[in-house]
Structure 1
Amino acid sequence: MIENTSQIEKLIRDIDSFIDRPADIYLIGGGAMLYNKSKKKTKDVDFVVRSKESYDALISALKNMGFESIRPTPGMERTNISDMLSLDDYRIDIFESRVCGMLGLSDGMADRSTL
């Protein structure tokens, strides 16, 4: 369970030290809600990427960090998660282009995102 933004920031710093090329990675879902204080904790970290290149870079970095793919389990098929990875207290859901097969990360959304 992730209960504060410092846990997410540590994860992002770790990813940054392992990633081997530039990648645009967007935090969505419960993790993003922690930042605007609309949620107190989240069971997972949801990332969306807009390209296959960013997806490959993120997956490679996470696996080099020791994360293991636990591909969406039965009952999760409808979410269209591209991959689900786990390590210790972290579970990461990664969406390539579309979230749950419906929401696409638009240019406007990307432009409004903050670091």
Structure 2
Amino acid sequence: MHPTDAQLWAAALGYLLPPVIAIVVQPRWSGPTKGIFMLLVAAGDGVGTAYFNDEFTGRPIVTGILTAAVAIGVAYRTLWRPSGIAPRIEAATSTTGRPDAGSPPRAA
């Protein structure tokens, strides 16, 4: 089975979304809260890409959402968090006023 244009767009957009998500996410949020917010963004990505690719029906929407969720998670864990970009964005946009709130962990 070949991926559709909507699925490819959902994946590509999902790979680029973690820095955007980091603007909203606060370092003090719990893991489940951050996960729920990521799923809401993935839902928007999947629905939007299905709509703009004229595939706005049940299955393409669901596969778009799931594709976006996987792409966002993989991108965050493999690129944006290890590079320190997403944590620095979270810290810079934090409302707590703690500059080190989202700094990446130091190697032991």
What's the TM-score, normalizing by structure 2?
Answer: 0.30
Structure whose residues are more often helix by fraction: 2
Structure whose residues are more often strand by fraction: 1
